[in-house]
Structure 1
Amino acid sequence: MTTNNSSNKFTKLFLGLVFDAMGYVSFIIPGIGEFSDIIWAPLAAWLMTRMYKGTSGQIAGVVAFVEELMPGLDIVPTFTLMWIYTYVLRGKKADKAIEV
């Protein structure tokens, strides 16, 4: 799907917020916490590397994987923090195409 830069930037923000919310499921639904993290951790890492290319995306993928597997760290909004790092702190323009 090809979009303009501004739209792509905010699409990534929206998806990041959704993916962070999905990571909170282990807090919301008792009994599935650790089991859901075993499934969600590799999926979150893969999604992160698809959303953010290059070395930054790979590092963020590892961070997302570890953060989801470690008990108590699910509260960290990894996707949102990566968006802030990419578009606010680094000031990078959105990619021409989003691949998720």
Structure 2
Amino acid sequence: MNLSNLSKHKKLALSILFDAIGMVTLLDIIWAPISGYLMANMYKGTKGKVAGVISFIEEALPGFDFIPTFTLMWLYTYVIKKESNEVQPIKVRSNN
């Protein structure tokens, strides 16, 4: 399952869904590793791995389920850092 290639809008929808699952899940011991895996899979590189660990810890600790970790990571990636996973056109300079 490769979630990193999804559009930013699909990632936002999944982020909200995963946060909702995390908030209502009573079996955090099962959801915590799944949450960490999904987060690391949604975002490439070091930031995805760090976010995966944070998501795992947040879900594993009792009382922290209210934190929308997936949505916060989406905001960090696409609003604060303004990353785009869409193909950008190449600008060609003419020598005229």
Question: TM tier, shorter chain?
Answer: 0.7 to 0.9
Q: What is the aligned partner in structure 2 of residue 89 from structure 1? A: 80
1:43-58 aligned at under 5 Å gives the runs 43-58=34-49
Percent identity over paired residues: 53
Q: Distance in 2 between matches of 1:78 and 1:13?
A: 12
Q: Distance in 2 between matches of 1:95 and 1:76?
A: 28
1:70 aligns with 2:61: yes
Gaps of at least 5 residues in structure 1 are 27-32
Paired residue type of 1:13: L
Q: What is the aligned partner in structure 1 of residue 23 from structure 2? A: 24
Give how far 1:25 is off.
1.2
Paired residue type of 2:12: L
Q: Distance in 1 between matches of 2:32 and 2:85?
A: 25
Give how far 1:94 is off.
2.0
- RMSD of aligned Cα (Å): 1.7
Q: CA offsets per residue over residues 42-84 of structure 1, 9 Å max, x none?
A: 0000000110010000000000000001111000000000000
Kindly tell me the number of residue pairs found equivalent between the two proteins: 83
Who wins on radius of gyration, i.e. which is larger? 2
TM-score between both structures, scaled by the size of structure 2: 0.81
Following superposition, which runs of at least 4 residues in structure 1 exceed 3 angstroms of deviation? none
More helix by share: 1
TM-score between both structures, scaled by the size of structure 1: 0.78
